[in-house]
Amino acid sequence: MLISEAYAQTAPSGLNFLDPQMLVLVFMFAAMYFLIIRPQMKRSKEQKQMVASLQKGDEVVTSGGTLGRVAKVGDQFVNLEIAPNIEMTVQKSSIQMVMPKGTMKSVS
């Protein structure tokens, strides 16, 4: 005969989680979660807690580098006293960190 017989192969089984390629893929996702996503979520949570706990008299630094003392706290905005009798209004989300008390005295 001119045409040889073709035999059907067995169909591949479903996903095998012990397959080395699958293990590498799972490991990569786990590494990304623990090295990138989880620390970022933790920092974001700490930032939200810090902004929510702002009160009058706290000394803070904004994302632009402005050092000031909190004069008034609103829902979305904070008034900062950056010099005697000089206040500016900034968004709460722009506050980077709360500084230790007395920081403004040592800077002036």
Is pTM beyond 0.95 here? no
Evaluate if residue 29 carries a pLDDT over 90.
yes
Mean pLDDT, all residues of the chain = 88
Are 33 and 41 in contact, with CB atoms under 8 Å apart? Answer: no
Q: Report the topology of domain 55-108.
A: SH3 type barrels. (2.30.30)
Extents of the domains making up the chain: 17-53, 55-108
Evaluate if residue 26 carries a pLDDT over 70.
yes
Are 55 and 90 in contact, with CB atoms under 8 Å apart? Answer: no
